[in-house]
Structure 1
Amino acid sequence: MSSPHPRTRPLGLTIWLVIAGAVGWYAAFALTIERFALLVDPDASLSCDFSVLVQCRANLESWQGSVFGFPNPILGLTGWIAPVVVGMALLAGARFARWFWLLFTAGMAFAFGFVIWLISQSIFVLGTLCPWCMVTWAVTIPTFYAVLLHVLRTGLLPAPRGVRRAASALTSWLPVLTVVSYAIVAVIAQVRLDVLATLF
C-alpha cells in the first residue's frame, strides 16, 4: 500500500522549522541567562526590563514562570531543539513515519496551547509584556499552524477529504493567518494594558 503523503520534501516547512527552532532556542537561552542573573542577585538589572509594562522580571519570578517546578525557559532550551533537528534531517533527505509526525504535531500542539495560556497570564494576570517571551510566542504560533496544516493536507493525520483540501488551501494563506493571530494578541494587549499610552 502506498503512503498517503507525497514523496516530495516540504521545503518551505523544512526551512521554517530550522529558522523557528533557532530563534525560539535563542529566546529561551536569553531568558535562562536572565533567570541565572536573578538567582545570583535578586536586585540585578535585567537587559530585558525596559519599563513597568515591557519587562521579563515579573514573568520569570512568578509562579507562571515555573509552572512545572522549574523555569519555563528550560522547556524552550530542550523543546526548540526538536524543530531544528527535524528540519535539518528533512533537508538531508530523511523521511519520517506517520507516528513520528503525529508525535511531533502533538508536541507542537502542546507548545501552542502552553503559549496561549502564557499570553493570557502575561496580559490578564501579570500585566506585562516580556520581550523574549513575545519572541517565543511569535515563532510558536506559525510553527504550529505550519505543522498542523502539513500533516492534514498530506494525510499524515487522518481527516476527511474536505479537511485535507481546506488545509492545502490554507497553507498558502499561512502568513496571513500568522499576522491575524499577532493582530489579535496585539489588540487584546492594547485593550487590557493600553500599550500605546506607554509609548507616547
Structure 2
Amino acid sequence: MLALGVAQLAGAELRPGWWLAITPLAALGAVFELWVIYLAIWRSSVTPFFVIQVLVFIAIFAFGVRRLPRTGNATALGIWLVLASSSGFFAAIRLVTDKVGTFVSPDVAPSCNVSVLVQCGKNLSSPEGSVFGFPNPLIGVGGWIAVLLVGVMVLAGLKFARWFWIAFNLGMLGALVFIIWLINQSIFHLGTLCPWCMTTWVAVIPTFLLVTFFNLKEGRFGGSARARSIGSSLYSFVPLISLLCFVVIFLLAQVQLDVITRI
C-alpha cells in the first residue's frame, strides 16, 4: 500500500489490475481491524490508534472502489457481496477464535456463550460443528473471501462468462443448503441459537437470492423474455423475501425453543 501510495503521488498511472488487488486487501484489512477493536472493547483497551487504522483501511477501500472502472448494472449486487462477505468473514473468524480458545483453555467458555439458549459453544463442540472433519467456520473463512473478491470485481465492472455466474450460483446454492441443514440442527437437535451462526444465516440467504435472481434476469439460465422479466421483478423484492425467510426461522425457533420467554 505504501509503494502504491508513493507511486500515485509521483504521478504514476496505475492500471485497473492494481486497484483490483488493493481494494479487496483494504476491505479485508478493515474487517480485521474492526475485529481487533471488538476484542479491544471486550478487554477495555481501545486506543485511538486502532480507530485510526480502521479509518485508514476504509478510506483506502473507498478510494480503490472509486478508481475501479464501472460498467454494467450490477452495482447493487457488488455492494451487497462486499458487505455480506465482510460480515460473514467476521463471524467465521469469531467462531474459529472461540473454537481455538476451547483448545487452549478448555475450562473457559467461548465469548459467544450468552445463555443456555444463546451460545455457540455447544454448536462448536458437537459433531454438526465439524461436518467434514474440521470446524465448519473454516469453510466460511475461505468461502467469504471468495465472495468478497467477486463483489469487488463486480463493482469494477468486470464481465464474467456465463459459466462463471452459474458456478458461482451453484456455490451459493451449496451454502444455502448447508445453512438450512445447520439451522435445522441448531433449532431442533442442539436447542441453541449461535450468534455468529445466525450472522452467517443472515448473510447467505439474501446473497443466494440476489445472485439467483440476478442471473435469471440477465438470462444466464437460458430463459425466455418472460423469465427474465420475472427475475427482474423478484430481484427488486429480495429484501422482502429475505425478511419473510427470517420470520419463518424465528417462528420455528419460537415454537421449538420458546425464544421470547427464555431469552
* Structure 2 equivalent of residue 4 of structure 1: none
Is the counterpart of residue 104 in structure 1 residue 138 in structure 2? Answer: no
Contact preservation (8 Å) 1:105, 1:147? yes
Q: Structure 2 unaligned segments of length 5 or more: list them.
A: 1-70
* Regions of 4+ moved over 4 Å: none
What is the Cα deviation at residue 8 of structure 1?
1.9
Alignment coverage as a number of residue pairs: 193
Query: Higher relative contact order by CA 8 Å / sep ≥ 6: 1 or 2?
Result: 1
Structure 1 92/8 Cα, relative in aligned 2: closer, same or farther at 3 Å?
A: closer
Which digits, 9 at most, give the CA deviation of each residue in 1:26-57, with x for residues without a partner? 10000000000011122212110011100000
The residue correspondences of 1:47-196 to structure 2 (distance < 5 A) are: 47-196=111-260
Question: What TM-score comes out, normalization by structure 2 length?
Answer: 0.72
Post-superposition CA distance 1:40-82 (Å, at most 9, x none): 1222121100111000000000000000110000000000011
- Give the drift of 1:9: 3.2
From the CA coordinates, give the structure whose radius of gyration is larger.
2
Question: Partners in 2 of 1:82 and 1:164 — Cα distance?
Answer: 27
Contact 1:9 1:90 in 2 (8 A): no
Identity among equivalent positions (%) equals 47
Q: Which residue of 2 aligns with 1:3?
A: none
Amino acid at match of 1:17: L
CA contact (8 A) 2:109 2:121 kept: no
Tell me the equivalent position of 1:22.
86
User: Residues of 1 paired with 2:255 and 2:157: CA distance?
Assistant: 47
Question: Given the alignment, which residue of 33, 38, 42 partners 2:102?
Answer: 38
CA–CA distance in 1 between the matches of 2:247 and 2:106? 35
Contact 2:253 2:259 in 1 (8 A): yes
Cα separation, 2, equivalents of 1:95 and 1:162? 24
Distance in 2 separating the partners of 1:126 and 1:71:
16
